[in-house]
Structure 1
Amino acid sequence: MSLTIDDTTTTGAPRSPWHGNADAQELNHWRHVARQAADELATDALERDRANQDPFQEVELLRRHNLINLLVPKEAGGAGAHWETAFHVIRILATTDGSIAQLVAYHYINQGSIVFYGEPAAQADWLRRSADGQWVWGDSVNPVDPTLELTPDGDGYRLNGFKRFSTGSSVGDVIIINALVRGGTNDGKILAFVLERGRAGLELQGDWDFLGQRLSASGSVRYNDVAVRPEDILGEVGDEPFSTLVTPGIQLAFGNFYLGVAQGALAKGRDILRGRTNSWFLSSAETYAQDPIFQRTVGELLARTAAVEALAGVLNRTFDDALAKGAAITAEERAELAILIAQLKVVSTEVGLDVAHRIFEVTGSSSTSNTVGLDLFWRNIRTHSLHDPVDYKKIEVGANYLLGEVQPISLYT
């Protein structure tokens, strides 16, 4: 990949630093790296989940495996990989630790906001500084909790307000924030800007204590008269098609995340089932794994998961194709991609939840023991799949198919 941020296409539109597609060598290499990281996370996933501590050690594990700068172009000091590769990494990590898969997914999107929102002339410098520092990017952008305001203060601003569900904020080196400007020449605009975690007046609440995704560092943040300097600002959050690819991007990350949870639940369920040396007393089979009843259930869940994987595989590559167009991508092309990804969101949510729930039907009552940890898969996907109502994704898909309607641009659609 080449760092071509300041170049322009033949239409005069700024070019994306991401172009082309991942080859087999790239995909195989990073899948292997992600598998190694996932295997390390698997050794104490249940214990870490119960401890419910901020995942600083897990972040260091990601750094050690060189996953933090995966999407940063080589010319800026990164690995120069593609988004298709990143989605594979997210999926593989989710097979053993959904919390860290979420943390990585949001990091990639938040770091990518340098390109989605940043002024072209400044993007290369942001990318290089992020790569040099191996910055982990958290966020504070929850759009249904719009209480952050910027008020002009000299050549900068003061930030005040409260924001829930700020994923990665308690362990991120930096936090990307969206806030509404009140007053001055930018009155009414929403600006995206970046603050270090220790900025004066930025208070981490440490209140993330939920059913699942317990190590996603998604607590609330309060901002008390925080200074925001001109150099902290990436740019305006608007409705230009390329910049709004941030939403299909995170939704596609969710689809891969849910798929990984389903695959992880199936793998753990298979190990449990094959480890049972007896069978149900009414069965003619010698073991549970040889019983057609349990084979049928596993076969159904596996087939449905494979279908989700096939759809995700197509869309992961399609997303790279869309990014390569840069600002030349049209609103119609962006909308078509968003609808396809919404379809994945629907099926990955429902299949993931079903697999994580029904795997208990084949593993038996002993698998509900707190020492087994099979419930971790269900708790994680049940918690995160409530991020935005999947029924509205179904409506989004159906309304488009029937009437050609497109939902208004937001951080959810």
Structure 2
Amino acid sequence: MSPQLTIQPFPSADNEPIARALELADVPATVEVLQALLARHATRRDAEGGCPKAERDALRASGLLALSIPVELGGLGGSWADTLDVVRRLAQVDSSVAHLFAFHHLMLITVVLYAQPAQWRPWLLGTARHDWFWGNALNPRDRRARWTASGMGWLLSGPKSFCSGALDSEMLVASGEHEGRLLVAAIPTDRSGIAVHQDWDNMGQRQTDSGSVQFDRVWVDEAELLRDPGPLSTPRSCLRSLVSQLILVAIYIGLGEGALSAARDYVRHEARPWPLDGVARVEQDPYVLAHLGDFHVALEGARLLAERAGRQLDAALERGDALRAEERGELAIQIATAKVAAARAGLDVCHRLFEVTGARSTHAALGLDRYWRNLRTHTLHDPLDHKVREIGEWVLTERWPQPGFYA
């Protein structure tokens, strides 16, 4: 069903309550079912790339696309701590699908933070009622797309790259340049003039549908532009950038945990002790035990930092327009700290797991390299060095990071 930009009464157009097949209490069990489904062919799908259509449809059918939507709009009313936990758990088995799920919810919070309720409430209501999938065509670094005023609306033309989840989506959050400003809109993906290209062919995150989108004189109504308050205009609207950073943290940790789980299973069932270690079973190998202990400590520390930041994010969102710049800055440092810890821990585990599993574990059919390829690809989203510098500047000068699309 194609989305329509129609401002409607609430909770629904006919004032009837919206039935939900899934409740918040059911989420953990639902995620377990999805984990088992995703794990069946994750290695093969990672090698093949392309759109994970069946897995996207499984997310639609699960009800989890409404996880972060308020109950009064037909959603599950989950917090961002709840949503990020699901992202992490999905990433343990399939970081591409976790990425798609996470960016869907990032687009939802984008319209909430950048627009007024009269705009975003119908979009969230439609998402909950019809299981719409949202895709990303915002990418603030790619400013080739341009807006042109046209009568009572606008025309958007030009390409956008790194458009995660745009393929097989019902709605897009898209941006373009106009007189030196970045304007953002929410529009149906099937609108005339929008061409979503399946041209994503990277070494990692191969099923994130992160190809390009071409806009050719796409009509956008003024009511579809997210201009009040708009991007980066208030401490509250600046939370969108922090949500995106914390999403990356959840994916990094989930990938690291997935790699550790795969390494542990391989050691238990396949690995052989090294002859010079003088032990009968690999479980007695002191080097293997030391590596596994290191992995656990690093990932557990990153997970706890991320959970603290998730709770603080929910508290900041509850503050609404009363949120102060200093509160936003404190949260930015917490998230940056978690991101550095998660990236370093995850990359270390995904790289060094082969020191635990041994030479035979490099067999291509096992696909143990996918954890490193996916995490290495994802950790290049924005340079980690800049996060460390921001943290160091705060330590020395107590100045908060300057709000931006990546900070």
Instruction: Tell me if 1:389 matches 2:383.
Output: yes
Do 2:232 and 2:403's aligned partners in 1 also have CA atoms closer than 8 Å?
no
Aligned match for 1:172, one of 169, 172, 183: 169
Q: Which amino acid aligns with 1:76?
A: L
CA distance in 1, matches of 2:49, 2:30: 26
Instruction: Tell me if 1:223 matches 2:215.
Output: yes
Q: Which runs of 5+ in 1 are unaligned?
A: 1-24, 183-187
Aligned match for 1:279, one of 269, 273, 287: 273
Instruction: Tell me if 1:102 matches 2:99.
Output: yes
Classify 1:266/1:277 alpha carbon distance in 2 versus 1 (closer, same or farther; 3 Å): closer
Instruction: Tell me if 1:126 matches 2:120.
Output: no
Do 1:31 and 1:92's aligned partners in 2 also have CA atoms closer than 8 Å?
no
Aligned match for 2:45, one of 48, 59, 67: 48
Higher mean Cα deviation, 29-38 or 60-69? 29-38
CA distance in 2, matches of 1:382, 1:170: 23
Alignment of 1:145-224 (within 5 A): 145-182=142-179, 188-224=180-216
Do 1:349 and 1:385's aligned partners in 2 also have CA atoms closer than 8 Å?
yes
CA distance in 2, matches of 1:150, 1:40: 42
CA distance in 2, matches of 1:381, 1:94: 10
Corresponding position of 2:61: 64
CA distance in 2, matches of 1:376, 1:61: 22
**Which string of whole-angstrom CA distances, capped at 9 and with x for unpartnered residues, describes residues 299-337 of structure 1?**
111111111111112111111111100111011111110
Instruction: Tell me if 1:347 matches 2:338.
Output: no
Aligned match for 1:296, one of 290, 303, 307: 290
How many aligned residue pairs are there?
384
Do 2:204 and 2:376's aligned partners in 1 also have CA atoms closer than 8 Å?
yes
CA distance in 1, matches of 2:325, 2:334: 14
Instruction: Tell me if 1:34 matches 2:31.
Output: yes
**Which string of whole-angstrom CA distances, capped at 9 and with x for unpartnered residues, describes residues 57-93 of structure 1?**
1111112221101011111011111110000000000
Corresponding position of 2:359: 365
Q: In the TM superposition, what is the alpha-carbon distance from 1:405 to its structure 2 partner?
A: 2.6
Do 1:150 and 1:181's aligned partners in 2 also have CA atoms closer than 8 Å?
yes
TM-score, normalised by the number of residues in structure 1: 0.90
Q: Which amino acid aligns with 1:333?
A: E
Q: In the TM superposition, what is the alpha-carbon distance from 1:231 to its structure 2 partner?
A: 3.4
Secondary structure of the structure 1 residue equivalent to 2:365 = coil
Corresponding position of 1:261: 255
Higher mean Cα deviation, 94-103 or 136-145? 136-145
CA distance in 2, matches of 1:223, 1:293: 55
CA distance in 1, matches of 2:117, 2:329: 24
Corresponding position of 1:12: none
User: Which runs of at least 4 in structure 1 moved beyond 3 Å after TM superposition?
Assistant: none
TM-score, normalised by the number of residues in structure 2: 0.91
Q: Which amino acid aligns with 2:349?
A: V
Q: In the TM superposition, what is the alpha-carbon distance from 1:409 to its structure 2 partner?
A: 2.1
Q: Which runs of 5+ in 2 are unaligned?
A: 1-22
Corresponding position of 2:3: none
CA distance in 2, matches of 1:121, 1:44: 42
Q: In the TM superposition, what is the alpha-carbon distance from 1:360 to its structure 2 partner?
A: 0.7
**Which string of whole-angstrom CA distances, capped at 9 and with x for unpartnered residues, describes residues 147-195 of structure 1?**
121110010011111111011011221110122224xxxxx54322112
Q: Which amino acid aligns with 1:371?
A: A
**Which string of whole-angstrom CA distances, capped at 9 and with x for unpartnered residues, describes residues 334-367 of structure 1?**
1110111001111101110000000111101111
Do 1:181 and 1:190's aligned partners in 2 also have CA atoms closer than 8 Å?
yes
Higher mean Cα deviation, 383-392 or 44-53? 44-53
Higher mean Cα deviation, 323-332 or 225-234? 225-234
Higher mean Cα deviation, 308-317 or 232-241? 232-241
Identity among equivalent positions (%) equals 36
Instruction: Tell me if 1:320 matches 2:317.
Output: no
CA distance in 2, matches of 1:230, 1:369: 55
Secondary structure of the structure 2 residue equivalent to 1:371 = helix
